Amino acid sequence: MKQDLQKPPADSFERIKIDASHAERITKPSMSFWQDAWLRIRKNKAAIVSMFILAFIIIMAFVGPLISPHDAETQTITHANLPPKIPGFEKLGIMDGVGTLAGKEVDLYEMKKVDTYYWFGTDGLGRDMFSRVWEGTQISLFIAFVAALIDMVIGVAYGGISGYYGGRVDDIMQRIVEILYGIPTLVIVILMLSFMDPGITAIIIAITITGWIGMSRIVRGQVLKFKNQEFVLASRTLGASNNRIITKHILPNILGIIIINTMFTIPTAIFFEAFLSFIGLGLQPPDASLGTLINDGYKLVQFQPHILLFPSIIISLLMIAFNLLGDGLRDALDPKMKD
Amino acid sequence: MEKILEVNDLELSFHTFAGEVKAIRGVNFDLHKGETLAIVGESGSGKSVTTKAIMRLLPESSSEFKNGQILFNGKDLTKLTDKEMQKIRGKDISMIFQDPMTSLNPTMTIGNQIMEPILKHRKVSKAEARKVVIDLLRLVGMPKPEARIKQYPHQFSGGQRQRIVIAIALACNPQILIADEPTTALDVTIQAQILELMKDLQKKIDTSIIFITHDLGVVANVADRVAVMYGGKIVEIGTVDEIFYNPQHPYTWGLLSSMPSLDTEVEKLYAIPGTPPDLLYPPKGDAFALRSDYAMKIDLEEAPPFFKVSDTHSAATWLLHPDAPKVEPPLAIVERMKKFPGSRYYEGTEGGTY
Amino acid sequence: MAKFITRRVIYMFITFFLIATATFFLMKALPGSPISSASKLSPTQLAIVEAKYGLDQPIPVQYAKYMLNLAQGDLGNSFQFKNASVTDLIIDRLGPSMILGTQGLVLGVTLGILLGMIAALRQNTIWDYGSTFVAIIGISIPSFVFATFLQYWFAVKLELFPVALWKDGWMSSVLPSIALAMGPLATASRFIRTEMVEVLNSDYITLAKSKGANGFEVAFKHAFRNALIPLVTVLGPLAAGLLTGSLVIEQIFAIPGIGEQFVKSIMANDFSIIMGTTLFFSAFLIVVIFLVDVLYGIIDPRIRLSGGKD
């Protein structure tokens, strides 16, 4: 603490007036919750890559069957069990139409005198796997999105009513949930399916019949938390109606969590559909989803691994991408993670 | 008095997503044997970081010592290995934390938690350690310690938990006790009890205390000396009387003016305008200038050095420069200064000049 | 605690009762009787068979009988396996399923905890990213896809393990156990990582460090226990996941377990086995969830002494 007596210029000690409001000025640009979340998710490479993968798969699910030279239903028995062959790739030694026949590597396209290309090969009935895989993806995605949407609607409504009205209503609704929650999902789903006509509707009902419970519990917890917070009480004191409180104050605050949870419902629904189809409870031919395609492929895995390979890759990519995107959204939207 | 701890030109930064945060920008102070030094300042002024730096408790991945020394009995703590530091922590220097509700391990009996540093740093058997634990609990005023050592933290109230944390800190008779806002999270009545306890303990065991707080009322109660921190620097340091009755730095004036008091008739409580500086981009000159009513041109260009007011009192403000204009502190401060012999407003026996 | 347990036991029975009732009436709601749809019998033969199974009685009587039998552990007789008792069929199949389930759970949870710990203690390093990657893969890739590829590569191509069938002793259980372990592994490692990171940032860890505890003591004496306790709460969902997994994995590896029998019965429309297994699975999961709640109360001192959360 030595004294520094070096002489500063004389006018240095002139008093200046600093506007105090200056110091209060907010220097960072103000951002809405969603802008902020978008900035965060943009930094998350895994989530961004997942978004592109998902976009690609979803687009292909619709465009894929159209761009393939063959459609999904035509059965060309003479073209059965062909391995994948893609123009351009053949010179690289992969996807060149070569498969094993009786232990020997042969070009099956040449042998069967096929002069067209099956990008993902064909199945045992000579159907084009490329078209079938993308149509299956379409169906799987459709089931997953519809199931997730229904889960969300029922879950939000049930949880919201239970949490917002509270008291006796909440008590009764929660006892019901408590008992439903004790029933294993798998058991209900299988039970439902063994008594319903198999099909897309049956699968969606089976998946959603207990699927909404998770969402309803989360929403109820959030509503309970927010409904007693000061800003809601303040708004109530000012005479806001229930409608206004729910739509203007509570819903915007729990929207993030609803989105995150829905994001995780989608892969669960994809998995359940595929699982049910795999054990034979799901879609029946001629409908095909990723699950039924995998089931078909599994039966032939020793001889025609390509039939299993492509639907497996697509479903794995879908699941990974949805989970990573869900993780990314959670990190971006969850205020707890904010620094 | 014997110096037990010397902090010289300490500079420390955090590396964050947004960039380098210069949390401590040249801190100097000494701690003498047996004294209580209070460090006061707003949140983000660097007071907690300073003590965590002394304990080396900051995350090593994101924090970095840029400059300076922390000399404890002549050893520079910034240069020690982790192993050497572990031998000092809990034994020579120990710490009390802000929130007793979260600072105890919920799944370990409090007996084991207090025993841990004893078994670690002293060569005693478990049975002896247990005796020490019971003595410690009695010392911090815990009734029926024999029965309570088998209990878990959730079975104690906040005040009792803080007593347990204090017992842990005192387990090895540390030379320095760092108390990081030990009463902030407690009810006012419990606060008073804990403060009494700490004052009491300091008399019984001869330890030096660094007391971090933003509550000036607490400072007046416990401290011998006070260091005022702002924007990662100490701006004024002196004895309690000097800081309370002859403050020199405009920030200290602001702090004291914003303290509610029963005997002033001011109707409106003073609030310092503005917000603390963003230490990602620390200001060039005096960090407080932008919020000060007493700013001068030089404040924006050059950081002020320390000017000595007395042997024990110095402040970093250009107002103390011989060339600086004489300014009138706020009225409430002038009132205070009137009571301090040696201040320019002193109204002692002769009535003073004002 | 006693009140908590009593309450939970009552809920357990209500839940199970509801499942049993629902199962029963769903079956009754079917058009025609299960026998008529499954076999080609003349009306007289059909009447004889229906009388034999008690299907000619009014539904409330059938329901009462069914529930009474259920209370005694009798799940009825199979249509498919020459009238064998469903209870016996399930017991016969229990062994392989239990071996697989236990191996899969222990392997998965142990590795998962290990990976999660490493990830949390080495945050934002290659270790962390590696184990996060494994966890994402484990959660995302459906167990039957993973099992099929394990089988294809390690059994068919590399011939390291038997392809299927439960004949080669322990070796037969290796691949299915690994396939089953993926789910628990991923769940446990993600869970432990999150918990550990939170615990390591907690005040009591700072206090432990300020006592002079070294890195090992901080991680294992203080943090590990606190991160591990909440893992108990995911054991319920894990057990449910194991059941789901076992259905397909037993199928893929042709293991004579309950799951494989269940899937076959679904194909064969053997309703008594479907119902029996459904009830068995439900009972299993209900008991697991109950045990988890009690266990949580026992190992967490905060709940242990305050007598349950509610």
Query: In which band, very low, low, confident or very high, does the pLDDT at C35 lie, cut at 50, 70 and 90?
Result: low
* C7 and C123 housed in the same domain: no
Q: Cβ of A4 under 8 Å from any chain B Cβ?
A: yes
Determine the angle formed by the axes of helices C170-200 and C235-252, rounding to 10 degrees: 150
Q: Which of A275, A255, A258, A276 is nearest to A151 (CA)?
A: A258
Rounded Cα–Cα distance for residues C96 and C85 (Å): 19
Question: At which residue do the structure tokens 């003591």 appear?
Answer: C217
Q: For residues B120 and B174, is the Cβ–Cβ distance under 8 A?
A: no
- Residues of A in Cβ contact (< 8 Å) with C252: 298
Domain count, chain C: 2
* C138 and C245 housed in the same domain: yes
Q: Which of C91, C254, C100 is nearest to C170 (CA)?
A: C100
Query: In which band, very low, low, confident or very high, does the pLDDT at C147 lie, cut at 50, 70 and 90?
Result: confident
Q: Cβ of C95 under 8 Å from any chain B Cβ?
A: no
Neighbours of B58 (CB within 10 A): 18
Q: For residues A290 and A315, is the Cβ–Cβ distance under 8 A?
A: yes
**Structure-token pair, residue B154:** 């959730």
* C64 and C191 housed in the same domain: no
Q: Which of residues 229-268 of C touch A (CB under 8 A)?
A: 240, 243-244, 247-248, 251-252, 263, 266-267
**Structure-token pair, residue C53:** 């199974």
The reply to whether residue B117 touches residue C202, judged by beta carbons under 8 angstroms, is no
Phi, psi at residue C84, to the nearest 5°?
-65, 150
Identify the DSSP state of B151: S
Q: For residues A97 and A145, is the Cβ–Cβ distance under 8 A?
A: no
pLDDT computed for residue C37 by the predictor: 47
The reply to whether residue B104 touches residue C204, judged by beta carbons under 8 angstroms, is yes
Q: Which of A29, A148, A133, A127 is nearest to A78 (CA)?
A: A127
| Interface A:B, Cβ pairs < 8 A | 67
- Residues of C in Cβ contact (< 8 Å) with A185: 240
Rounded Cα–Cα distance for residues A322 and A317 (Å): 8
**Structure-token pair, residue B162:** 């803080």
**Domain annotation covers residue C266:** yes
Rounded Cα–Cα distance for residues C122 and B3 (Å): 39
Question: At which residue do the structure tokens 């005023």 appear?
Answer: B141
Please name the residues in contact with B232: beta carbons below 8 A apart, sequence gap of 6 or more: B22, B23, B24, B25, B26, B27, B45, B46, B279, B282, B287
Q: Cβ of C274 under 8 Å from any chain A Cβ?
A: yes
Q: For residues B228 and B214, is the Cβ–Cβ distance under 8 A?
A: no
What CATH number does residue C275 fall under?
Answer: 1.10.3720.10
Question: At which residue do the structure tokens 């099929």 appear?
Answer: C148
**Domain annotation covers residue C310:** no
Note the pLDDT tens digit of each residue in B241-261: 888 888 888 888 888 887 776
Domain-ending residue, one of C11, C45, C71? C71
Q: For residues B202 and B36, is the Cβ–Cβ distance under 8 A?
A: yes
Identify the DSSP state of C77: B
Question: At which residue do the structure tokens 């395609």 appear?
Answer: A293
> B267-298: buried (b, 16+ CB within 10 Å) or exposed (e) per residue?
eeebebbbebbebeebbebbbbbbbbbbbbbb
CA–CA min distance C223, chain B (Å): 9
The reply to whether residue B107 touches residue C301, judged by beta carbons under 8 angstroms, is yes
Q: H or E stretch including B95?
A: strand B93-96
* Percent composition of chain B: helix, strand, coil (DSSP 3-state, to 5): 35, 20, 45
CA–CA min distance C107, chain A (Å): 23
- Region of B324 please: left (phi>0), alpha (psi -120 to 50) or beta: beta
Question: At which residue do the structure tokens 């502190």 appear?
Answer: B329
- Residues of A in Cβ contact (< 8 Å) with B314: 1
* C46 and C103 housed in the same domain: no
What global pTM score does this model have? 0.78
Rounded Cα–Cα distance for residues B320 and C275 (Å): 90
Half-sphere exposure of A285 (CA within 13 A, CB side): 7
**Domain annotation covers residue C308:** no
* C243 and C271 housed in the same domain: yes
Q: Which of B26, B78, B30 is nearest to B52 (CA)?
A: B78
* C55 and C17 housed in the same domain: yes
Q: For residues A265 and A210, is the Cβ–Cβ distance under 8 A?
A: no
Residue B152: closest CA among chain C residues belongs to which residue?
C301
* C35 and C162 housed in the same domain: no
Q: Which site among C148, C157, C263, C269 would you substitute to test the A interface, given the most A Cβ atoms closer than 10 Å to its Cβ?
A: C148
* C292 and C232 housed in the same domain: yes
CA A177, A179, A184, A185 torsion-angle sign: negative
* C174 and C51 housed in the same domain: no
Q: For every one of its 339 residues, what pLDDT tens digit does chain A have, with 9 covering 90 and above?
A: 444 445 566 667 777 766 555 544 555 566 677 777 777 777 778 888 888 988 888 888 887 777 776 666 666 666 666 666 666 666 666 666 566 655 566 666 666 666 666 666 776 666 777 878 888 888 888 989 999 999 999 999 999 888 888 888 888 888 888 777 766 677 777 777 766 777 788 888 888 888 888 889 888 888 888 888 888 888 888 888 888 888 888 888 888 888 888 888 888 888 888 888 887 777 777 778 888 888 887 777 666 777 788 888 888 888 889 888 888 888 777 655 433
Domain-ending residue, one of C44, C71, C98? C71
- Residues of A in Cβ contact (< 8 Å) with C251: 279
Rounded Cα–Cα distance for residues A269 and A148 (Å): 7
The reply to whether residue C27 touches residue A281, judged by beta carbons under 8 angstroms, is no
**Structure-token pair, residue A89:** 């790739």
**Domain annotation covers residue C81:** no
Rounded Cα–Cα distance for residues B88 and B94 (Å): 8
Phi, psi at residue C283, to the nearest 5°?
-60, -45
* Partner residue opposite C144 with nearest CB, options A187, A294, A319: A294
State how far the alpha carbon of A5 is from the alpha carbons of A13, B234, B294, B302, in Å. 14, 20, 21, 14
Q: In what order do the strands lie in the sheet with B3-15?
A: B20-32, B3-15, B63-72, B75-76
* C44 and C184 housed in the same domain: no
pLDDT computed for residue C308 by the predictor: 38
pLDDT computed for residue A118 by the predictor: 65
* C126 and C18 housed in the same domain: no
Chain-centre distance for alpha carbon A67: 25
pLDDT computed for residue A21 by the predictor: 54
**Structure-token pair, residue C236:** 């319920």
Neighbours of C8 (CB within 10 A): 16
**Domain annotation covers residue C108:** yes
Phi, psi at residue C126, to the nearest 5°?
-60, -30
The reply to whether residue A339 touches residue B17, judged by beta carbons under 8 angstroms, is yes
**Domain annotation covers residue C279:** yes
**Domain annotation covers residue C78:** no
Q: Which residues pair with B314 in a beta bridge?
A: B237, B308
* C58 and C128 housed in the same domain: no
> B250-263: buried (b, 16+ CB within 10 Å) or exposed (e) per residue?
bbbbbbbbebeeee
Query: In which band, very low, low, confident or very high, does the pLDDT at C111 lie, cut at 50, 70 and 90?
Result: very high
The reply to whether residue C215 touches residue B82, judged by beta carbons under 8 angstroms, is yes
Neighbours of A22 (CB within 10 A): 11
Q: Cβ of C150 under 8 Å from any chain A Cβ?
A: no
Subunits in contact with chain A (3 or more CB pairs closer than 8 Å): B, C
The reply to whether residue C305 touches residue B165, judged by beta carbons under 8 angstroms, is no
- Residues of C in Cβ contact (< 8 Å) with A195: 26-27, 29-30
Range of the domain at C262: 86-303
The reply to whether residue A275 touches residue C136, judged by beta carbons under 8 angstroms, is no
Rounded Cα–Cα distance for residues A172 and A223 (Å): 17
Longest pairwise C-alpha distance within chain B: 68
Rounded Cα–Cα distance for residues B339 and B348 (Å): 7
Note the pLDDT tens digit of each residue in C40-60: 566 676 677 666 666 667 778
* Percent composition of chain C: helix, strand, coil (DSSP 3-state, to 5): 80, 0, 20
Q: H or E stretch including B93?
A: strand B93-96
Q: For residues A190 and A281, is the Cβ–Cβ distance under 8 A?
A: yes
Average model confidence (pLDDT) for chain C?
A: 79
**Structure-token pair, residue C89:** 């069929």
Length of chain A: 339
Angle at A75 between CA A73 and CA A77, to 5 degrees: 165
**Domain annotation covers residue C309:** no
Q: For every one of its 354 residues, what pLDDT tens digit does chain B have, with 9 covering 90 and above?
A: 688 898 988 888 888 777 788 888 888 888 988 889 999 988 878 888 888 888 888 887 788 888 888 888 888 888 888 888 888 888 889 998 888 888 888 888 899 999 988 988 888 888 999 999 998 888 888 888 888 888 888 888 888 888 899 889 888 888 899 988 888 877 888 888 888 888 888 888 888 999 998 888 888 888 889 999 988 888 899 998 888 888 888 888 888 887 776 665 656 677 777 777 777 777 777 778 777 777 777 777 778 888 888 888 888 888 888 877 778 888 777 878 888 777 777 776 554 444
The reply to whether residue A195 touches residue C251, judged by beta carbons under 8 angstroms, is no
Phi, psi at residue C49, to the nearest 5°?
-65, -45
